[in-house]
A and B are shown apart, each in its own frame.
Chain A
Amino acid sequence: MSVEATLEQFGVAEVIVSLQAVPPGGMEGLAAATEIKQRNLAHYFTTSDRATRSLLAATSNKPAPGPYRVYEHLGLVLGTVNKSGWAGLKADPQVADVEDAPQFSLIHPIRPLAAGAVTPTPGPTWGLSKLRVAELWSRGFRGQGLRIGHIDTGVDGKHPAFRQKAIGGFAEFDMIGNEVAQPKVTDSGDHGTHTAATIVGRPVNGFEFGVAPAATLYSAKVIEGGNVVARVLGGLNWCLGQQVKIISISLGLRGYTPSFLTLIQALRARGVLPVVAVGNEGVDTSRSPGNYDNVLSVGASDRQNKVATYSSSQSIKRPQDPLVPDLVGPGSDVISAQPGKGYQLLSGTSMATPHIAGLAALLWQAAPAATHADVERAILQSCQRPPSMPQGRANRGFPDALEALKFLNPSAAAKPKPSAPARKPVAAAKKKAPKPGPAKKGTVKKAAGKTTPAAAKKAKAAGKKG
């Protein structure tokens, strides 16, 4: 909103005033000049409830500030003006420029015009089928005993997808990162319920949408369209206390900021695999921490084996593993739980990330002694990149659950468990049974055949991630 429009609507506006001409003497001279000039400009500024609220936003329990503030070393004055003050500042020869002061703004979801709810039909989602998750389920790996952290908007604990103790723990955090006492297992939006169910959702009426439907989720409610870092740290800290092995993080700050690097190192040093969404802003963009080389960075693909146009990708200036995301997962048109009893379609790297987190859980169950680096390496080595996925967008490509299992635990991959659940997974039924034979040899051959030289190099580099 322009200053004029704000003045029209509210009668006052917050502005930044740049003072004219830097005098000789550098910053000291500028500071002195600012001090002098602000006295002459004081009469242009006024107080208002709006200005006071704005300025008090980050200064709780503090007395109300004055109508303007001087940044002597910057040659700037921030203050609130009415229409006559605005006109006076624009005409004042001491003033070089007057602009609308920037305000914090939240990015709100774009709501669909049509209702988002869907009625699913029995069978697995396209994402589960494409990942070949049923191959691991049929071998008895459904995520039993695995604890997965979930940093999101919360989760609707009453949804049938989360029956059978799918939610092992839930926590909510205040604005400075303190755990809120006795939180209700709820979702402040719908994002968290959707991503949580993609990780651990139990099948409902034959509809299969959770990648690791026997795993346990520890969900931290840290975001309500929010911008508060301490809540996220509170959630991560709490997840570590719950002994999680994997943390699914579908959030991040736009661009590259190294501020989370040490945190992620601390996660990995404690044996946790961080699986992080890269962002939804398209080519040559990414978010932190999803663009770090020490996370498993996830982009989004669709059911046609194409990288989604919104899926972020970027080459980061660093010697190791510069390209993000590391891989892509099922992200477009993902159907999962909606707060209440229903289901809805959503798209995004936020939807792809929980698929990969769930896959990591299945693999870890199959190889309990594996490290986070082993699990990560197996997922990366299993990736295939069809011609429809340019390397710059998909990096290593799309993972394959069975191939990853072969890399991680060849003996487990070779033997489908006879005591597998009687219910026949739809995807498994359609696919050929795994061929018997020397698993290790087959694994090596398969891996060599499927992995491009670049991907192999990256996978090798991935071993250094831990």
Chain B
Amino acid sequence: MTTTPSPEVDAELTRQLSRAAPGEAVQGVFVLRTPPKQPYLTAAETRDQVHALLTAAQKHCGFDCEQVTIFENLQSFALQAPREMVQAVLASPQIASAMANAQPESLQIDPIRPSQGPAGERRTRGSKAAPKAPSPKRPPRKKSG
């Protein structure tokens, strides 16, 4: 007999669920498990599995989901539903992983902005050695103590 491993649930979704009041909506994104001997779930399989597990979860907890978006090419879906419904979905054996839709920090990897103006690039492009910009004069060091 094989047991289905628990889904990977990110700490933020766990935190949001613990903070939500009864009946309060939580948003999560869920990834379905890939069946053995199959590279991925097809779009039709994804749709069918999502509908089936949401129906089962609704019956189990007595709550309806508020919004669902199925990512049929990614065997995943996003859900906004009362806390109890989200918890019921997490208990489904088809769920491989889940995470909070709203993360505590930005997903964007912010670029490092140039500290100097654009002239640096212009000067250096096409030249063997870029002429060094004059270094700003430093104020004399104060003696400490």
List A residues at the B interface (Cβ < 8 Å). 57-62, 65, 69, 71, 74, 78, 102, 104-121, 123, 126, 153, 175-178, 191, 194, 223, 225-230, 232-234, 236-237, 240-241, 250-254, 257-263, 265-267, 269-270, 277, 279-280, 287, 308, 310, 332-333, 335, 344-351
Contact = CB atoms under 8 A, between A and B. Distances in A.
Q: Which of A62, A121, A280, A345 has the most CB of B within 10 A?
A: A345
B70 to A, nearest CB: 9
9 contacts: A233-B29, A236-B73, A253-B103, A257-B10, A261-B97, A262-B34, A263-B31, A345-B114, A346-B113
A209 to B, nearest CB: 11
Given A176-B69, A257-B10, A105 B101 contact: no
A82 to B, nearest CB: 22
Interface string B88-124: 0000000011111111111111111111111011100
Contact of B121 (A69, A118, A233): A118
Contacts, number: 226
Nearest to A308: B112
B39 interface: yes
B25 A58 contact: yes
B40 interface: yes
A453 to B, nearest CB: 32
A280 B34 CA distance: 32
B71 to A, nearest CB: 4
B125 A227 contact: no
A332 B10 CA distance: 33
Contacts of A287: 109
B96 to A, nearest CB: 5
A230 B116 contact: no
A60 to B, nearest CB: 7
Nearest to A111: B113
Given A233-B76, A236-B71, A176 B27 contact: yes
Given A176-B80, A233-B29, A280 B109 contact: yes
A57 B31 CA distance: 24
Given A74-B18, A109-B113, A177 B99 contact: no
Given A237-B73, A257-B10, A226 B78 contact: no
A43 to B, nearest CB: 20
Q: Which of B100, B102, B126 has the most CB of A within 10 A?
A: B102
Given A59-B24, A104-B104, A112 B111 contact: no
Interface string B60-88: 00000011010111111010100000000
A227 B105 contact: yes
B118 A234 contact: no
A400 B109 CA distance: 25
Given A120-B125, A265-B34, A270 B73 contact: yes
Nearest to A332: B112
A254 to B, nearest CB: 6
Contact of B126 (A107, A110, A121, A262): A121
B19 interface: yes
Given A178-B69, A233-B71, A265-B40, A259 B99 contact: yes
B33 interface: yes
Contacts of B49: none
A287 B71 CA distance: 23
B50 interface: no
B109 A252 contact: yes
Nearest to A236: B74
